[in-house]
Amino acid sequence: MRKLDDRLLELMKERNWKNMTEIQQKSLEPILSGKNTLIIAPTGYGKTEAALIPILDMMLKTNVKPVSLIYITPLKALINDLTLRIEWWASRLGFYVNRKHGEVPQKEKNLRLKITPHILVTTPEGLEIDLDWATRFREKYKNVKWVIVDEIHELIGSKRGVQLSVLLERLKDYIGYDFQRIGLSATINDEDLVASFLFGSSSRQSEIVKVNDKKEFELSIVKLNSVGDIWKNVAKHIISSVEKPSLIFTNSRFLTERLHEELEEYDKDFYVHHSSISRESKSNVEEYLRTGKAKGVICTKTLELGIDIGDIKKIIMFRPPPSVASFLQRLGRSGHKIYGKPRGEIICIYDHDLLEAYAISELAKLGKVERQSICKPIDVAAREILGMILQYDEVEKEKAYKILTSSYVFRNLSEKTFNELIEYLAKNNLITIKGDKLSIGKFFFKLWNFNRNNGYSWSRGFSEFFSTINSTDTFTLKWEDKNIGEIDAIYVYKHIRSGDIIRIGGKLWKIIRINTSRMVVDVLPADKGDGEIPVWRGDGISKSYLLPKEIYVLFKEKRKEISDIIDKYVSRNLPLPSPNVIIEEKRDKEIVYSTLINEKIASTLAHILLYLATSKDSLNNYARYSIYGFSINYTEKDLLEELLKYNEKELKRIIIRSILRSPLFISTLKEIQISYGKLGKIDTKEDKLIIKDALRQAISKYFSIKKTIRFINKIKRGKIKIIKYDGSTPLGDAVLLQAPIKPWITGISTIIYDTLKGGAYTLAELSESLGISQKSLEAKLKQMRKPESKYRIVSFIDVDSRETRWCLMEDLENIVKSCDFYTSFNPINSDETFIASLRAINSTTTTDLIFKPKEIIDNPEEIIRRIPFEEIGEMRINDPVDPLVYNISPRFYYVNKRVAPYLLLNAVAYIQNMKYS
DNA sequence: ATACATCCAAGAGGGC
């Protein structure tokens, strides 16, 4: 074996290294001989040094010029950590290191132009920015000899990974050198796939090195008694089982907060960590872990990967993780020292939790991990074409196509699709095609605007162009100048009012002010009160495809750990759960088909049933799906049976149509259309390219057409048996716990109706949550208050904020009674006398009614009786002694007389509020 | 009661 440079050996001594770890030794040879290398080992095995040390050795031995090495890693926190770690070695050898991500101070970033770093640590987005936009620094990249991609398993299945794979090809083409590629990864299923993905068009020899991963771990699985207060039981159990310091993983942000609320009753040394609390609070919590202050930290996936958080004694998982990969990552956060054995516990609540827990632990022991799937998102190709044009000003078609197809992901992108794509981009003026040259189109910098405040309402910040991650609207919680956390905008609009107490980051906060234009909620610390925990909306975590198969094995082997569940089937004379049996359970409002099934097949079937139900029934239908089956709330007919009548061709058509109707497809469409430069409504003819791409992306993520057809064929042939049962099963119960899916209804008024339901919103809030401009929304709202509207709405004045709010007519009575709008409908003085001026629709004469607010409060029916027409065209109030009131009185248009009393009270409350305060 | 996470302008020119 080649001898490492003496200076490196010295440094190892300085670090007190007796030996290099196994993975470090194994990596030396392939890297030193210039091979592209994929290094696979669990966290904590020293993978970074395994790649770094041989590269530093080569850097010492050859006369390298900066930038020599690019180190790419997916998280900002990792960049900060790694920079220090790399700097330790590099600075002692005379090499400069620089980091780049969105939160690095400008000053530090500017430094790299003065002193070019030998090693640059950044994200995929950071590389994108440099190639596309950093005109000067880009030149320095021409010296790059090595690229390391860290945590590659985190990138591979996502658009970020696709983006990176193209970027590497762009880099290679730009510098004209086939640099050496090194990937670092945790245990993965398909090593060869990851390798091809990373190595792309490089013609270097390649090698995969890995350590024989010991799958040893200590794991206990407990099921808690669900009698009594389940939260108290969980808290008590955790208190008895926790070992300082522990990580307590949950599967949602809500649950981390909820669990903390219970645990802090027993012990103050528990903390919360998830993505919606501020960076500052997160780093505090991480510090508490390292210093030993924290007994336990309750967290989500945020702590699955990332920076060193010290020695964790025990991992507690509150309900099973969604996949084996995630289980191993979570467990791997304990026993971090190389030969330490990870120790953990899974707390189960439901029967199916127990099934998943045993299945996951079994799979982990067998060394089975989920396979990654790579899809071919054309929207990312579009972005990369644009990136190349930014880089070169002008790019030949041929060159753009060649670079794209040299990446592993787009290797099969046909010339036809490529041409369709660039012609479409040209049509939308994102690019201009002149002969065989592509250049930037006049719409590009309007869409990707430099100054969002001066831009059009639809324009995006230019910086967003570099990221493939789409972000949702959120409000930032601020206490004075400090960021506390973030809450979904929709949740703020629907549930938060000033004065409320909320719980976030494990602390209570009082809402002081909601600023919708700055998207900021001002809060103050509160020390008591029942804090409401916000709900954040995500995509839904899908469960591993390995689970239903492995759970079937557990049942086949009649494992004693799940004997309670087996008994429930045996005692009901039912066959044990299997992929070959569907138990059709008639439940309260829905039919549940319980079985063991791939989640994507279940999802496809649920969507088909929903589609069939909505075409027969109403818009109130919903369906559910999970690995335990699917359900539909339509009981008139057996829709699954009906499905068996169709032939394969018809089936396929129905499946596509159901998918096109699903919110999953629609949101995918909305997400990607911006990359194509398409704003507003999609046209089924004009925008076929986007529709096709969205359909393919949605299908690969959420559905499975082929497998579903095969599944239905199996039912037809009797290979899958359907058993009707007039009762319930544990798997059926699991299906009913899933959130229902609802049809996407075209037609803006239904969407407005759905959004308004149960609440009252301002125009700005509605426009924000619906993504419709205020102007067109207002026109629609005015239409919807007219008597002929299917969904009747009304507006009133929110006296506290003096804004107009809109709500459903049917909801007004409840809103009047709710404490949220108390001041808006309860006049300060209800003994004053007012005159209501009413005009009928299409009439010019007005009728006046004299009333005191008190009379309305006491007997609203009386004033309704005095109104001479059913529908009021215009209504406002007057004061017999103060004629000015008429001018400031709010006007109400198209009001049904049944709700008029409430609006009169609203007008009085508003006027008195103006007069007296 | 419900369903996670990640990312996001360079660099010239002016003022002190």
pLDDT in tens, A833-853: 999 999 998 888 888 999 999
Give the range of the structural domain holding residue A316, as residue numbers without chain letter: 218-366
Task: Say if A515 falls within a structural domain.
Answer: yes
Identify nearest nucleotide to residue A256 by CA to C1′ distance: B4
Say yes or no: A903 and A846 in one domain.
yes
Query: A569 pLDDT exceeds 80?
Result: yes
Q: What is the pLDDT of residue A743?
A: 74
Q: In the structure, how far is the CA atom of residue A470 from the C1' atom of nucleotide B8, in angstroms?
A: 10
Residue A568 CB in 7 A reach of strand B: no
Query: A495 pLDDT exceeds 90?
Result: no
Q: What is the pLDDT of residue A842?
A: 83
Query: A395 pLDDT exceeds 90?
Result: yes
Q: In the structure, how far is the CA atom of residue A108 from the C1' atom of nucleotide B14, in angstroms?
A: 21
Say yes or no: A90 and A149 in one domain.
yes
Cα radius of gyration rounded to whole Å, chain A? 31
Domain stops at, among A683, A716, A737: A737
Q: What is the pLDDT of residue A504?
A: 93
Query: A746 pLDDT exceeds 60?
Result: no
Q: State how far the Cα of A424 lies from the Cα of A405, in Å rounded to an integer.
A: 19
Residue A791 CB in 7 A reach of strand B: no
Task: Say if A57 falls within a structural domain.
Answer: yes
Say yes or no: A145 and A251 in one domain.
no
Say yes or no: A277 and A320 in one domain.
yes
Q: What is the pLDDT of residue A713?
A: 95
Q: State how far the Cα of A772 lies from the Cα of A276, in Å rounded to an integer.
A: 26
Q: What is the DSSP string of A48-65?
A: HHHHHHHHHHHHHHTT--
Per-residue pLDDT tens for A748-760? 677 788 788 878 9
Q: What is the pLDDT of residue A381?
A: 97
Residue A392 CB in 7 A reach of strand B: no
SS3 A737: coil
Nearest to A167 by CA among A468, A470, A469, A420: A468
Q: State how far the Cα of A821 lies from the Cα of A797, in Å rounded to an integer.
A: 10
Element (H, E) at A913: helix A900-916
Identify nearest nucleotide to residue A123 by CA to C1′ distance: B7
For residue A57, what pLDDT band results from cuts at 50, 70 and 90? very high
Say yes or no: A83 and A227 in one domain.
no
Say yes or no: A573 and A655 in one domain.
yes
Task: Quote the pTM value.
Answer: 0.83
Domain stops at, among A366, A391, A424: A366
Q: In the structure, how far is the CA atom of residue A622 from the C1' atom of nucleotide B2, in angstroms?
A: 15
Say yes or no: A283 and A361 in one domain.
yes
- How many domains, chain A? 5
Q: In the structure, how far is the CA atom of residue A538 from the C1' atom of nucleotide B15, in angstroms?
A: 48
Residue A258 CB in 7 A reach of strand B: yes
Q: What is the pLDDT of residue A146?
A: 97
Residue A110 CB in 7 A reach of strand B: yes
Say yes or no: A818 and A715 in one domain.
no
Segment A583-608 mean pLDDT:
94
* Cβ-defined contacts of A514-519 (< 8 Å, 24+): A514/A475, A516/A762, A516/A764, A516/A765, A516/A768, A517/A764, A519/A473, A519/A474, A519/A475, A519/A476, A519/A489
Segment A445-471 mean pLDDT:
82
Segment A575-600 mean pLDDT:
94
Segment A712-733 mean pLDDT:
95
A48-62, A152-166, A584-598, A613-627, range with the lowest pLDDT: A613-627
For residue A260, give the CATH number of its domain.
3.40.50.300
Identify nearest nucleotide to residue A73 by CA to C1′ distance: B6
For residue A229, what pLDDT band results from cuts at 50, 70 and 90? confident
Q: What is the pLDDT of residue A817?
A: 86
**Identity of the amino acid at A392:** Y
Pairing of strands A761-762, A803-808: antiparallel
Q: In the structure, how far is the CA atom of residue A774 from the C1' atom of nucleotide B12, in angstroms?
A: 39
Comparing A145 with A446, the larger pLDDT belongs to A145
Q: What is residue A497's DSSP assignment?
A: -
Query: A150 pLDDT exceeds 90?
Result: yes
State how far the alpha carbon of A651 is from the alpha carbons of A30, A696, A710, A712, in Å.
Answer: 52, 18, 11, 9
For residue A681, what pLDDT band results from cuts at 50, 70 and 90? confident
CB A166 within 8 A of CB A125: no
Q: What is the pLDDT of residue A228?
A: 80
Say yes or no: A561 and A621 in one domain.
yes
For the segment 138-177 of chain A, residues whose CB is within 7 A of strand B: 138, 158, 160
For residue A159, what pLDDT band results from cuts at 50, 70 and 90? very high
Share of chain A above pLDDT 90, in %: 66
Segment A386-390 mean pLDDT:
96
Q: What is the pLDDT of residue A883?
A: 83
For the segment 681-710 of chain A, residues whose CB is within 7 A of strand B: none
Q: Is the dihedral of CA A705, A708, A714, A717 positive or negative?
A: negative
The per-residue pLDDT of chain A, averaged, comes to 90
Q: What is the pLDDT of residue A32?
A: 96
Residue A464 CB in 7 A reach of strand B: yes
CB A695 within 8 A of CB A664: no
Residue A123 CB in 7 A reach of strand B: yes
**Identity of the amino acid at A529:** G
Query: A214 pLDDT exceeds 80?
Result: no
CB A269 within 8 A of CB A225: no
Task: Say if A433 falls within a structural domain.
Answer: no
CB A534 within 8 A of CB A521: no
Q: What is the pLDDT of residue A753?
A: 81
Q: In the structure, how far is the CA atom of residue A374 from the C1' atom of nucleotide B9, in angstroms?
A: 30
Q: In the structure, how far is the CA atom of residue A125 from the C1' atom of nucleotide B7, in angstroms?
A: 7
Query: A452 pLDDT exceeds 70?
Result: no
Q: In the structure, how far is the CA atom of residue A110 from the C1' atom of nucleotide B13, in angstroms?
A: 15
Count of CB atoms situated within 10 Å of the CB of A331: 26
Task: Say if A439 falls within a structural domain.
Answer: no
Identify nearest nucleotide to residue A155 by CA to C1′ distance: B6
Q: Report the nearest residue to nucleotide B3, CA vs C1'.
A: A540
Q: What is the pLDDT of residue A695?
A: 94
For residue A617, what pLDDT band results from cuts at 50, 70 and 90? low
Nearest to A173 by CA among A118, A218, A131: A131
Output phi, psi for A513, to 5 deg: -155, 145
Question: Which pair of structure tokens corresponds to residue A492?
Answer: 């703020």
Task: Say if A34 falls within a structural domain.
Answer: yes
For residue A216, what pLDDT band results from cuts at 50, 70 and 90? confident
Q: In the structure, how far is the CA atom of residue A135 from the C1' atom of nucleotide B12, in angstroms?
A: 12
Q: What is the DSSP string of A275-294?
A: TTB-HHHHHHHHHHHHHT--
Count of CB atoms situated within 10 Å of the CB of A228: 8
Query: A593 pLDDT exceeds 80?
Result: yes
Q: Report the nearest residue to nucleotide B7, CA vs C1'.
A: A467
**Residue length of chain A:** 917
Say yes or no: A131 and A245 in one domain.
no
Pairing of strands A507-515, A581-586: unpaired
Residue A624 CB in 7 A reach of strand B: no
Question: Which pair of structure tokens corresponds to residue A23?
Answer: 């993975």
State how far the alpha carbon of A39 is from the alpha carbons of A160, A185, A476, A857, in Å.
Answer: 20, 6, 40, 75
For the segment 536-565 of chain A, residues whose CB is within 7 A of strand B: 536-542
Task: Say if A743 falls within a structural domain.
Answer: no
Could you tell me where the beta strands, DSSP code E, fall in A33-132? 36-40, 69-72, 97-100, 119-122
Say yes or no: A521 and A566 in one domain.
no
For chain A, the maximum distance between any two Cα atoms, rounded to a whole number of angstroms, is 103
User: Highest mean pLDDT: which of A42-56, A224-238, A546-560, A880-894?
Assistant: A546-560
| Strand B nucleotides, any atom under 7 Å to a protein CB | 1-12
SS3 A828: coil
Domain stops at, among A177, A210, A243: A210
Query: A307 pLDDT exceeds 80?
Result: no
Residue A462 CB in 7 A reach of strand B: yes
Nearest to A575 by CA among A717, A732, A721: A721
CB A536 within 8 A of CB A275: no
Q: In the structure, how far is the CA atom of residue A492 from the C1' atom of nucleotide B9, in angstroms?
A: 31
Identify nearest nucleotide to residue A282 by CA to C1′ distance: B5
For the segment 17-56 of chain A, residues whose CB is within 7 A of strand B: none
Say yes or no: A299 and A264 in one domain.
yes
Comparing A527 with A653, the larger pLDDT belongs to A653
Residue A785 CB in 7 A reach of strand B: no
Identify nearest nucleotide to residue A737 by CA to C1′ distance: B2
Per-residue pLDDT tens for A328-384? 989 988 875 555 788 899 999 999 999 999 999 999 999 899 998 888 999 999 999
Segment A613-639 mean pLDDT:
83
Segment A433-452 mean pLDDT:
90
Comparing A447 with A537, the larger pLDDT belongs to A447
Query: A629 pLDDT exceeds 90?
Result: yes
Task: Say if A719 falls within a structural domain.
Answer: yes
Per-residue pLDDT tens for A183-193? 999 888 899 99
Task: Say if A540 falls within a structural domain.
Answer: no
Q: What is the pLDDT of residue A531?
A: 86
For the segment 286-345 of chain A, residues whose CB is within 7 A of strand B: 300-302
Segment A799-820 mean pLDDT:
89
Q: What is the pLDDT of residue A63?
A: 86
Q: Report the nearest residue to nucleotide B12, CA vs C1'.
A: A136
Identify nearest nucleotide to residue A326 by CA to C1′ distance: B4
Segment A652-677 mean pLDDT:
90
For residue A357, how far is the Cα from the chain centroid? 24
